[in-house]
Amino acid sequence: MKGNPPATAMRLIIRRSADASLAADRGNVQPSRTRNAWIKHGHRSVLLLASISCLYAAAQTQKAAELPPTGQIGVIICASDATQSYALYLPAAYPSATRWPIIYFFDPSGRGHRPLDLYNEIAERYGFILAGSNNSRNFSSDPSQAVNAIWKDTHARLALDEHRVYASGFSGGARVAGAMALSSLGCRSPE
């Protein structure tokens, strides 16, 4: 999660709570009642701040928890676009501190798990991450939406080697893979 939305929300809560107590102080309200109202609002603000802090911490730790177990294929929903998802395979040695190469697969029927089922043993042997789009399919109106979502999500979640990013597909999926390569900056063919 990038940016500081929880911190902004916390500042607004604190500001509103402080503004409410100042307004009560300025009005014709008895001092004891103002103090009780401030305490009441203060407790709510502290409780709300604690809740927001816990949610923010949970969102940060959930990022790693959403990954499938190594050596298994799992389905990931893209954080930037919940309508997009992909199948993901991580080799058994993935949690190490190194950067990993990735192959993006585009199936003509949008079955992201299909190419991963076929290639996961090779990925395990040679140390590749595999990601297969569940949304890019033949005759889809905008395949770039699926490509952008899977790209952003994998680059945010995974430790990837930026110099070893590959795309593959069959039929219409090959067109999507080719378009992905052509639109990538610094793309070059293997020598």
pLDDT category at 99 given cuts 50, 70, 90 is very high
pLDDT category at 70 given cuts 50, 70, 90 is confident
pLDDT in tens, 110-134: 899 999 999 999 999 999 999 999 9
pLDDT in tens, 13-60: 334 444 444 444 455 545 555 555 545 555 555 544 445 444 444 443
Residue 3 confidence (pLDDT)? 34
Burial class (CB in 10 A: 0-12, 13-18, 19+), 40: exposed
CB 94 within 8 A of CB 127: no
**More confident position, 87 or 188:** 87
**Nearest one of 162, 158, 133 to 147, comparing CA atoms:** 133
Half-sphere exposure of 185 (CA within 13 A, CB side): 0
Residue 71 confidence (pLDDT)? 86
State the CB neighbour count (10 A cutoff) for residue 62: 11
pLDDT category at 190 given cuts 50, 70, 90 is low
- Report in angstroms the alpha-carbon separations of 108 from 77, 116, 167: 19, 14, 14
pLDDT in tens, 124-174: 999 999 999 998 888 777 788 888 999 999 999 999 998 999 999 988 888
Q: How far apart are CA 171 and CA 106, in angstroms?
A: 9
